[in-house]
Amino acid sequence: MSRLEALAQPAEAATNREFLRSVFASMLRARILENKLSSLYKAGKIVGGVYLGRGQEAVSATLGTALIQGRDFFAPLIRDQAGRTAFGEPLIDCTRTYLGSVEGPMRGRDGNIHRGRPGQGAPAMISHLGAQVSVVAGMLFARRLKGDLDGRVGATCIGDGATSTGSFHEGLNLAAVERLPLVVVVGNNQFAYSTPNDRQFACADLVERARGYGIGGFSVDGTDLLACASVLTEAVRRARAGMGPQMVVARLLRLSGHGEHDDASYVPGDVRDGHYGRDCVEVAMRQLVENHFATIEEIRGWQEKFAAEVQRAVAQAQQEPAPDPYREKWTALATRFPLANPTPSQPVFP
Amino acid sequence: MSITYIDAIREAQLTLLREDPRVFLYGQDIATFGGAFKATKGLAEMYPNRVFDCPISEDAMIGLAVGAAIEGMRPIVEMQFADFSSIAFNQIVNQAATHFYRTAVPVPITVRLPSGGTAGSGPFHSQSMEGIYAQYPGLIVLTPASVSDAYHMLIDAVGLNDPVIYCEHKFLYRWLKAKTIHNDHLPIGQARIVRTGKHATVVAYSAMVHEAVRAADRLHHDGWEIEVVDLRSVKPLDIDTVLASVARTGRLLAVGEAFPWGGVTAEVVARVAGEGFHLLDAPPQRLNARDTPVPYHPQLWAAHRPTPESICEALRKLLAF
């Protein structure tokens, strides 16, 4: 049992100093990175869009911390910078992808939140929502076939909107039938892009669906780090213990637009000012300080340290070359066919 | 003693299960029941932990296969009918087909599509999807027309490091028989000349190879010698063999069972027109199914797809030009 795994025991996670400090550090690191990404976007330095996880860091980072890098699988979605960081993704993977460096894991072939390292337990998401549920199920299925499941857990995150897709339903139902150790975390941030919950689903609470799938279901206040710590570690523990898929529905609010191009003007004022409109990073900071898990001075020190790390990761990615269309191997296949011409994309004169 | 096309497909899966521990089979009704067409009959008894029935969830079936391939397995997914792969379209063309290009991690999955029409099957159990999948970068699309190819190309498909759409024709399942599986198989990406001729070239694949050979037999009585090329794989497309044949005959007819707008036959004609314009003595032609859903009634169905009669008619016009 690794150090953090030992710490991620649900009964004590919400009171465990080291676990909570680790989660909070990932939240803070992600927030500082994302603030920088937002600035870079507004300065026109980003290739493509920017999608932030502001307001969802507590859920995402807790999940990423409860998972074990190198053993578990984690398929993040668009608001999981904090979870990615907690699961061990280096900052440079993020800045390289957003800034279009050829050195990044996607080499300029795909961008922003689509990055991943599938061979290392971190699949790269596609834009079609719900599609990663069955992919993570397949990764676990393969390990079971190889006799190598060995207490592994696979997790993926999803939004309230994606729960309406056929892919989500098919994937979760299949994982339940195969009784795989899968944790699906639904961040119900109340708006799928601009569409509110009442135009998305008709059940009172999405967690009711867990019963229909025959899987474990949890509901948690996603703005409360301590609540996230106890609920998410319990869900991960149950999956790891062979109790089948677990679904956690986190109630929260996205504190930004869908992407940085979006001002989220469709979110009513009373929702913004309501309970879920509070900033989970501020709540977590207060919880750490009040429970004497960290001091304000320590947190300020972390802020400075992470800001410097982010600055370095941005500077390095900005110095690296963009992909070169003349050196790009314009083939999507791993296989080479010496006897068949590739499809010509340019005119061929005999 | 003879072996049918579907026997060859079953035999190939048995060989793969026996020889490659990374292989598993995933599909609807394929375990104890042996599959809707019995392509996996008895395999679950022999390999109980490697042949799985799954929910009616084509999207999730391919998603699971992609995840398993990322973790080193070689899944073979059976779609009960090619038509139902439309439900898995997203996972096939967006997840599987883009994966290697995006991430450099290959996803070697094989998707078996029981394809093409049979009498009385109607609009949703008769489709030919090869052209749609061939359109997408990152997929290999195979269309075996012989018993030996059905066997060897399925073995080859699983050995490739890319997602493979393996289109097996339902009409050939029990109709097509051979004495044995030959070992003189060609590599993926090479077409085969199944009948030599000098007056015109018919390029076909899958069940249409047999219809084209019948048409060629009929025209032989009138003194015409028609060359028939079996593409075997529509992607990659062996255009060199096609061009070499057109160089000998000067005339091209591309025949396919899919819908007429675009597709494999259009690609063949475009490639020959672009690269072999100087070889042609007549405008290159194509013959496909009609531009309607595949009809249910056998009489309508038989007039919807290319037949030896319609291929003969098209060839006569081509030869008269």
**ipTM > 0.90?**
yes
Q: Which positions ≥6 away from A166 have C-beta within 8 Å? A: A130, B59, B87
> Could you give phi then psi for residue B193, rounded to 5 degrees?
-85, 110
Rounded CA gap, A52 and B194, in Å?
Answer: 58
Domain CATH number, residue A21: 3.40.50.970
Q: Say if A350 falls within a structural domain.
A: no
Cβ atoms of residues A140 and A79 within 8 Å: no
Q: Is A137 in contact with B105 (Cβ distance < 8 A)?
A: no
pLDDT tens digits along B271-292: 999 999 999 999 999 999 999 9
Q: Say if A342 falls within a structural domain.
A: no
Q: Say if A327 falls within a structural domain.
A: no
pTM for the structure as a whole:
0.96
Please, what's the b/e burial string for A167-203 (b: 16 or more CB within 10 A of its CB; e: otherwise)? bbbbbbbbbbbbebbbbbbbbbbbbbeeeebeebbee
Q: Say if A204 falls within a structural domain.
A: yes
In B268-307, the residues whose Cβ lies within 8 Å of chain A are: 271, 274-278
Rounded CA gap, B122 and B112, in Å?
Answer: 20
Using DSSP's 3-state secondary structure scheme, residue B167 falls into strand
> Number of helices and strands (H, E) in chain A?
13, 7
Known active-site residue B278: no
Domain region containing A63: 3-319
B165: amino acid identity, one letter? I
Using DSSP's 3-state secondary structure scheme, residue A74 falls into strand
Bridge partners (DSSP) of residue A6 are none
Bridge partners (DSSP) of residue B3 are B178
Q: Which positions in chain B touch A174 (Cβ < 8 Å)? A: 54-55, 57, 60-61, 64
| Residue A271 predicted with pLDDT over 70 | yes
Domains of chain B and CATH, by start? 3-178 (3.40.50.970), 192-320 (3.40.50.920)
pLDDT tens digits along A168-179: 999 999 999 999
Closest-CA distance, B164 to chain A, in angstroms, reads: 11
Residue A151 backbone zone (phi > 0: left; psi -120 to 50: alpha; other: beta) = left
Cβ atoms of residues A74 and A67 within 8 Å: yes
Closest-CA distance, A69 to chain B, in angstroms, reads: 15
pLDDT tens digits along A99-110: 999 999 999 999
Q: How many CB pairs under 8 A join A and B?
A: 178
Cis peptide before B236 (omega within 30 of 0): yes
pLDDT by residue, tens only, chain B of 321 residues: 799 999 999 999 999 999 999 999 999 999 999 999 999 999 999 999 999 999 999 999 999 999 999 999 999 999 999 999 999 999 999 999 999 999 999 999 999 999 999 999 999 999 999 999 999 999 999 999 999 999 999 999 999 999 999 999 999 999 999 999 998 789 999 999 999 999 999 999 999 999 999 999 999 999 999 999 999 999 999 999 999 999 999 999 999 999 999 999 999 999 999 999 999 999 999 999 999 999 999 999 999 999 999 999 999 999 999
Residue of A nearest to B75 (CA): A142
pLDDT band at A9 (very low <50, low <70, confident <90, very high): low
Number of structural domains chain A divides into: 1
Q: For residue A3, what pLDDT is reported?
A: 45
Of the residues B99, B125, B152, B304, only one is catalytic, namely: B125
Share of chain B above pLDDT 90, in %: 98
Q: Say if A106 falls within a structural domain.
A: yes
Cβ atoms of residues B139 and B235 within 8 Å: yes
Q: Which positions in chain B touch A133 (Cβ < 8 Å)? A: 60, 63
Cβ atoms of residues A184 and A137 within 8 Å: no
pLDDT tens digits along A143-173: 999 999 989 999 999 999 999 999 999 999 9
Q: Is B189 in contact with A339 (Cβ distance < 8 A)?
A: yes
> Number of helices and strands (H, E) in chain B?
13, 14
Q: Which positions ≥6 away from B18 have C-beta within 8 Å? A: none
CB distance from B77 to chain A under 8 Å? Answer: no
- Average pLDDT over chain A reads 94
> Could you give phi then psi for residue B194, rounded to 5 degrees?
-90, -15
Show the tokens assigned to B182: 């030959």
Closest-CA distance, B219 to chain A, in angstroms, reads: 31
Using alpha carbons, select from A77, A115, A125 the residue that is nearest to residue A95.
A115
